[in-house]
Amino acid sequence: MARVIVTLQIMPESPNENLKNIEQHTLASIQRFAGEGETKVTIEPIAFGLSAVKIVFVMDEKIGSTEPLEKDIAKIRGVSSVEVTDIRRAVG
């Protein structure tokens, strides 16, 4: 099976939410879901002071759908929505 690179965009409920807290809880959820691996976190300004947490991580394709992970992240306090914005197979 191949490895896949997944990009998640996590939107907070308001511009006042603690993005570092959301990031830490999301990374813990990803580790439980996909195991240890490479991750990249960025904070992306959206509009009117609102920023999104974007996380790129690598997982094994055999795990299947990211839906259980998305549901887990959506339960984190302060999270408004979770969206997979990109999935692609890793080459090499």
**3-55 residue pLDDT tens:** 999 999 999 999 999 999 999 999 999 999 999 888 999 999 999 999 999 99
Domain at 3-89: CATH code: 3.30.70.60
Q: How confident is the model at residue 92 (pLDDT cuts 50, 70, 90)?
A: low
Predicted local confidence at residue 90, as pLDDT? 85
Predicted local confidence at residue 34, as pLDDT? 93
Give the burial string for 31-51 (b: 16+ CB within 10 Å, else e).
eebbeeeebebeeeeeeeebb
How do residues 66-85 score in pLDDT, each as one tens digit?
999 999 999 999 999 999 99
Q: How many whole angstroms separate alpha carbon 82 and alpha carbon 26?
A: 10
Q: How confident is the model at residue 91 (pLDDT cuts 50, 70, 90)?
A: confident
